[in-house]
Amino acid sequence: MGKIINLFTKNIKLKLIAVPYIIWYKLKYPNLVIRKNTTDLNVFLNIFIQKELNLPVKLKPKYIIDAGAYAGYSSIYFHEKYPEAEIIAIEPEKSNFNTLVKNTNKIKQIISLNLGLWYKEAFLKVEDRKTGKWGFKVSEVLSTDEYDIKSTTIDNILDTQNWDKIDILKIDIEGSEKELFTKNSKKWINKVNVIVIELHDRINEGCTKALYSAINLSEWVEYKTGEKVILIRKNFI
């Protein structure tokens, strides 16, 4: 009972802390949606109050991929900080994607894609892990009768957007990072200047190993903030 009371008290405190921030952002973005009784508030707090996406160095990125964009708060954060940057926001789960569109459709620098980031073009099934709106994962299926969405790849985004690089690659994709970095990453990894990633070994064992096997760590500076690992190329600082 004590743990339940403490958790309830913590949630009340977080909501009180969040109120002025929510008011401020709703004034700036009248369409901003924070869904009740979901993990939206937690994500909003992590991004705008706890600043988990804040990079420890000053940069001027032009091109950003927000993979696992959820309801769009991370894309809005990047737009606020880097207003000239082009942002591709990728979200596979339909209700999250619809909220992402509502939250960002007035921002011309953000393009939203209802796709899953994967290592190749494929058909994907969206799976509900029953941990809230932030917990959906994808897996590849072979039959077109079973799929929910199609995938996109880093290479495909580079080609369609006519980008020669990715300045910030933010990844929060509930375990799919293992496949992303294990297969075909050599094609694009040298075009990435910053990686901001949440690793999900608890969902898909081997995510951390896949990341560090794909990069030459001596070329990067590593930081950690909250659940995020931040890797910045030394020649980009």
Is the pLDDT confidence value at 5 over 60? no
The three-state secondary structure class of 89 is strand
Model-level pTM?
Answer: 0.92
With 60 as the cut, is the pLDDT of residue 69 above it?
yes
Residue 3 has pLDDT above 60, yes or no: no
pLDDT of 203 over the 80 cut = yes
Residue range 190-214: average pLDDT? Answer: 97
Segments forming the whole domain that contains residue 168: 2-236
Residue for token pair 């930081």: 223
Indicate which CATH number applies to the domain containing 58: 3.40.50.150
What are the pLDDT digits (tens) for 82-95?
A: 999 999 999 999 99
**Tell me, what's the pLDDT at 2?**
41
| Predicted pLDDT at 91 | 99
pLDDT category, 7, cuts 50, 70, 90?
A: very low
pLDDT at 9: 59
In this model, does residue 13 exceed pLDDT 80?
no
pLDDT of residue 4: 39
pLDDT band of residue 222 (cuts 50, 70, 90) is very high
Q: Which of 12-21, 154-163, 228-237 has the lowest mean pLDDT?
A: 12-21
Residue 217 is encoded by which pair of tokens? 């760590």
Sign of the torsion angle spanned by Cα atoms 231, 226, 176, 205: positive
Position 232 pLDDT exceeds 60: yes
Q: How many domains does the chain have?
A: 1
What pLDDT, on a 0 to 100 scale, did the predictor assign at position 176? Answer: 97
Q: How many CB atoms are closer than 10 A to CB 202?
A: 8
Q: Which amino acid is at 193?
A: N
11: pLDDT confidence band, cut at 50, 70 and 90?
low
Q: In what order do the strands lie in the sheet with 149-152?
A: 116-117, 149-152, 123-128, 136-141
